[in-house]
Amino acid sequence: MLYYYNTAPQKFSLSLRNLLQTKPKNALSATDRLLHYSCQLRMPFQLTIQRPVEIEGFGLHTAVPCHLRLTPAPADTGIVFRRVDLDNFEIEAHVGNVARVSYATSLMKQGVLLSTTEHILAALYSCGVDNVYVELDALEVPILDGSAKPFIDLLARAGTRRLRRLRRYIRVLKPLEFADGDRRIGIYPAEEFRVHCFVNYDHPAVGPQEVELVVDRDSFCRELASARTFGFVKDFAGLKAMGLIRGGSLENAIVLDDRMILNPPLRFPDEFGRHKALDLIGDLALVGRPLQARIVAHKAGHALHTQLVTRLLADRSLWTETTDGHVPASAPSGVSVSISAASRF
């Protein structure tokens, strides 16, 4: 079944009273200020977080404990990971730093590795956080409950703050598509950021699942954030032999044997498809800018996702950079934008 979601324009924690109160010398009239604000809504500004926040957990593949801390960053910083256990060594969240994409997306710079970045990147990207430092004291982002919801909760505590720099979008102008066997992926021109994800697992509890939605902070929090990663018991021996899933458990993944789900209930009937859409968004964040495009992924995975980003950025005829946002994405300077931690779970 195809699940299709359209979201209403975002609401901001700003009242007209705030706009119209206390008028300093030489200030704009109330009407001019409202017109000026409406102009800002058409030209969104970059966001960072308002205050540092932190969380602890352990890696899905390494089982190594990790303390993760988000801190504000200035305009045009982007999303930057810092290995605080290695003298604050920085790894930019950019496809040029992708190292491995087999069972998670890993980044590497000058031999320094960072693994399993897709869930936190999906949360940051969907919530419009353009600039932030992600500090870690280990080589793998903690898996937490296997979804992006703990990171959404973290961002709700952090708040967001508008910066005095326009957000720059990558607007796709021409289609790009390619395939690897029966796996396909493509990116197409669109006025908004939209993803379409199809998966099909030969398992009685999964089968074909298809999800499409316009992605913004509201739709992501409501429809995708709490969808968990998953694994099949038949694959575990091989993965463990490769040194993977050492930290996997029934608490941080949906686990399936040959017939059934071992740790029900599901958070959504199509949780598998939704989680794959979450992973797709996290990998698309490696483009380094908000996208105005529609992405269609058919049985794709991390490898095809990151190949798409690499090929897109390599061909400058396929896209242009613009500051023209089609929907509101920020509030006036110094005013926080609310990120709700609510979801269907």
Active-site annotation, residues: 302
Task: In whole angstroms, give the CA distance from residue 254 to residue 274.
Answer: 13
Nearest CA to 317 out of 209, 171, 217, 208 is that of 171
How far is residue 296's CA from residue 198's CA, in Å, rounded to a whole number?
8
CA angle at residue 276 from 273 to 277, to 5 degrees? Answer: 90
Measured CA distances, 56 to 137, 143, 157 (Å): 10, 10, 15
Please tell me the distance from the alpha carbon of residue 85 to that of residue 101, in angstroms, as a whole number.
24
The angle formed by the CA atoms of residues 88, 90 and 96, to the nearest 5 degrees, is 165
Cα(166)–Cα(285) distance, rounded to whole angstroms? 18
CB-based contacts of 202, cutoff 8 Å, min separation 6:
none
- Tell me the CA end-to-end span of the chain in Å, nearest whole number: 21
